[in-house]
Structure formats: structure tokens, C-alpha cells
């Protein structure tokens, strides 16, 4: 029996972390009156904690799926600066989730990055793991299709650039653009590690022999793209307005976001889209303020909900996402009524 006395075969947990101190202030308002060094110290002493619940989820046979949201007591910046400590805290969160009866644990945002997309924690716990990237890729691709249609961009002839292309999400979107989008123009794949890019390029050529790809670590290459997809775990702003084509669309999949409002200064022609958001079925929600519209969720969290509903018996999306997992989760999303959210820019409907 779980620690809280509530048993459910459809029980899951989702791991989050504060994007910055503003997130901490939203959840714990009293902390805004304390020095940041003290908040950091107290949070680490407290350790992993349950900060919210998911409600309204019903299986196809009417059972209730119970979900909890557990936070790593570190901000995004702190996690990237001390990945070893962050990884230990993530493991602590998974241990807590398991103790409370979770059958599936979803890794949100940087909680996935610091444990190798889940690779480093698989097999250490009885609970199963997913990094949420399969649904994130699927919903991102649907959003890219929608914004291209809205802007009159022909996906077959448009120039796409993917920043963070060799990562799990970036590589998945790259493959979907070729397989389902029919992109014929050269796909610009930008990343920091040449060997990872080379590996992805070889993989792309193996599965899609006719695909035209260019790999580079030069961020200025975004100047050639009609649509720039940002899918990297780098901290802070990485795009510069001077490296963006006139009337370019920037589709930002990242959390914390890697595109800041300042990119719009003097560039009203640009469109920045909040990427990979899922619209939840009517009546489904959660009790934590994640900065989204009510009834919408980050897709990594929505993936965990779906796997909880299905009582999925194995680890799901681990490391780099596969097309098989993307297709599997897309079918589940459709069957349970999880849909792409309306297009938004900085939270406002486009």
C-alpha cells in the first residue's frame, strides 16, 4: 500500500523543477521576502516534495488515474550548473514517487536532461520511467504544421532550422519533418557536439536516403530559415534577432524558454510560438501553477498522464525518442482526447 494509503493501479507521478525564483515565489509566496541563498539552502534541506495533484483522469472503463506532481528543490540554472547534485535530487524524487505508489514517473524539463533522458535511472527503481519526449515531438510537429498553414508557408519547400537537433526532441522533430512533412529543402540541423550531429545525419540518411540535411554548430545559420525550431537544453536566450530571416517563425519547444521577448525589439515581423503544448480533455487539470492556460499542459506531463491511464507496464520514452514511440503515444492521445493546444505567442492566442 502506498505511503498515503491510496492504492491505484493507474497511479503516476510527474517531476518538475522551478524555472527560476519567480516559480518558487508563485508556489511559496513567503519566500520572496528571503535572500535567495537562504531559499536555495532551505529547499535542498527539505528535499523532494509533492506540490500538486492531477485530477479528472478516467480510464476507458471508468477507473480514476491518480497523479502527483513532485518538485526537485533546484532552479533550472542551479541544475545546469551542478548536474551531479541535480541527478541525485531527481533520484530522490523518483524514490519518493515510488514510495507513494507511482507505477510510472515522467521526467519534466531538466529533470530528464540531468539523467540522460532517463537512461541513467532506468532499472534503479520498480516504477517505470518516461522522459515525455514522444508526445512533445508529436505535439510540436502538429503545432509547426498549424503555424505554417496559418502563415501560408509551404512545408515542402520551406527552409527549416532546428537548434538542438541532436537532442531527443530535436532529432524526433527532424525525422517527422522528413517523414510526415515531406520537407524537400535542406534541413539545417544545429547542435553543439559535432559527433552527435554526425551520428544523427547518418541516421537520417539511413532511414530517409533522399533527405537533404546540413549539420553545423554555427548559430548564424538560422538566417536562412523560414521556420526556426528551438529544442535545446541550453540555459537562457540563444537566438539573436540579427540571425533571423525577415518574417521568420520561431517555434520554441523548450522549458525554461530559450527565446526571450527582447528578440522582438525592432523586429515586429517575427512570430515566436509557445511550442508543444497539449490541450487536455474537459475536466482534466492539475493544482500547480505552471504558467499555462487552464486545461492545457506541457506535453511531457500529458504523456505521463496517458501512460498512467493505460497502466503502461514498461519504461516508455528513454534517451532519444523513436518514431515507434511517437506513433504509439499519438494513438493514445487521440483515443483519450488529448489534442494540440491553440497556437499562442507569449501566452496570447495567435
CB atoms within 10 A of CB 177: 23
State how far the alpha carbon of 2 is from the alpha carbons of 6, 54, 96, in Å: 6, 17, 10
Extract the C-alpha cell encoding 19: 524555472
CB of 277 closer than 8 Å to CB of 344: yes
pLDDT tens sequence across 103-145: 999 999 999 999 999 999 999 999 999 999 999 999 999 999 9
CB of 285 closer than 8 Å to CB of 55: yes
Name 46's Cβ contacts closer than 8 Å, sequence gap at least 6.
Answer: 73
Q: What is the mean pLDDT of residues 72-88?
A: 94
pLDDT bracket for residue 228 (50, 70, 90)? very high
- For 171-175, 185-189, 285-289, 322-326, which range has the lowest pLDDT when averaged over its residues? 185-189
pLDDT bracket for residue 3 (50, 70, 90)? low
pLDDT value of residue 238: 76
* pLDDT of 1 over the 80 cut: no
pLDDT value of residue 5: 47
pLDDT value of residue 236: 56
pLDDT value of residue 235: 60
CB of 278 closer than 8 Å to CB of 340: yes
Gap between the Cα atoms of 292 and 260, Å rounded? 17
- SS3 label, residue 325: helix
pLDDT tens sequence across 8-40: 778 999 999 998 898 888 878 899 999 999 999
Q: What is the mean pLDDT of residues 187-198?
A: 91
Gap between the Cα atoms of 248 and 276, Å rounded? 18
Mean pLDDT for the chain?
A: 92
CB of 305 closer than 8 Å to CB of 54: yes
Name 150's Cβ contacts closer than 8 Å, sequence gap at least 6.
Answer: 343, 350
Q: What is the mean pLDDT of residues 86-90?
A: 97
Pick the CATH number of 135-276 from 3.90.550.10, 2.40.50.140, 3.40.1160.10, 3.40.50.720: 3.40.50.720
- SS3 label, residue 248: coil
Long-range contacts of 146-154 (CB under 8 A, 24+ apart): 146/340, 146/343, 147/227, 147/249, 147/251, 147/271, 147/273, 147/343, 147/350, 148/227, 148/249, 150/343, 150/350, 151/247, 151/249, 151/271, 153/226, 153/227, 153/249
**The pairing of beta strand 285-286 with beta strand 128-130:** unpaired
CB of 338 closer than 8 Å to CB of 309: no
Q: What residue ranges do the domains of the chain occupy? A: 11-134+278-344, 135-276
CA end-to-end distance (rounded Å), the chain: 47
Sheet containing strand 11-16, edge to edge, reads: 128-130, 104-107, 11-16, 66-71, 49-55, 285-286
Query: Higher pLDDT residue, 234 or 50?
Result: 50
* pLDDT of 206 over the 70 cut: yes
Amino acid at each position: 500500500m502506498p505511503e498515503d494509503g491510496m492504492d491505484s493501479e493507474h497511479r503516476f507521478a510527474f517531476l518538475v523543477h522551478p524555472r527560476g525564483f519567480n516559480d518558487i515565489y508563485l508556489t511559496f509566496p513567503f519566500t520572496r521576502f528571503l535572500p535567495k541563498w537562504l531559499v536555495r539552502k532551505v529547499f535542498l534541506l527539505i528535499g523532494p516534495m509533492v506540490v500538486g495533484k492531477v485530477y479528472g483522469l478516467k480510464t476507458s472503463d471508468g477507473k480514476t488515474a491518480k497523479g502527483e506532481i513532485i518538485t526537485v528543490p533546484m532552479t533550472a540554472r542551479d541544475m545546469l550548473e551542478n548536474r551531479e547534485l541535480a541527478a541525485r535530487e531527481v533520484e530522490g524524487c523518483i524514490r519518493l514517487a515510488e514510495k507513494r505508489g507511482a507505477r510510472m514517473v515522467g521526467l519534466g524539463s531538466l529533470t530528464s536532461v540531468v539523467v540522460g533522458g532517463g537512461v541513467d535511472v532506468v532499472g534503479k527503481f520498480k516504477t517505470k520511467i518516461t522522459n515525455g519526449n514522444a508526445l512533445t515531438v508529436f505535439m510540436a510537429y502538429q503545432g509547426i504544421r498549424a503555424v505554417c498553414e496559418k502563415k501560408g508557408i509551404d512545408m515542402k519547400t520551406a527552409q527549416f532550422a532546428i537548434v538542438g537537433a541532436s537532442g531527443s526532441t530535436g532529432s524526433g522533430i527532424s525525422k517527422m519533418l522528413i517523414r510526415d512533412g515531406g520537407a524537400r529543402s535542406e534541413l539545417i540541423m544545429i547542435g553543439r557536439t559535432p559527433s552527435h550531429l554526425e551520428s544523427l545525419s547518418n541516421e537520417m540518411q539511413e532511414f530517409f536516403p533522399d533527405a537533404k540535411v546540413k549539420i553545423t554548430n554555427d548559430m548564424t545559420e538560422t538566417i536562412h530559415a523560414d521556420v526556426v525550431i528551438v529544442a535545446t537544453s541550453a540555459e537562457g536566450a540563444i537566438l539573436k534577432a540579427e540571425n533571423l530571416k525577415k518574417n521568420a517563425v520561431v517555434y520554441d519547444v523548450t522549458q525554461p524558454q530559450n527565446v526571450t521577448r527582447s528578440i522582438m525589439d525592432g523586429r515586429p515581423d517575427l512570430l515566436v510560438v509557445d511550442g508543444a503544448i497539449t490541450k487536455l480533455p474537459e475536466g482534466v487539470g492539475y493544482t500547480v501553477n505552471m504558467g499555462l492556460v487552464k486545461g492545457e499542459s506541457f506535453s511531457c506531463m500529458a504523456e505521463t498522464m496517458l501512460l498512467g491511464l493505460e497502466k503502461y507496464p514498461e519504461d516508455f520514452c528513454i534517451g532519444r525518442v523513436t518514431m515507434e514511440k511517437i506513433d504509439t503515444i499519438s494513438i493514445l492521445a487521440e483515443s483519450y482526447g488529448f489534442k494540440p493546444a491553440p497556437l499562442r505567442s507569449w501566452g496570447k492566442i495567435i
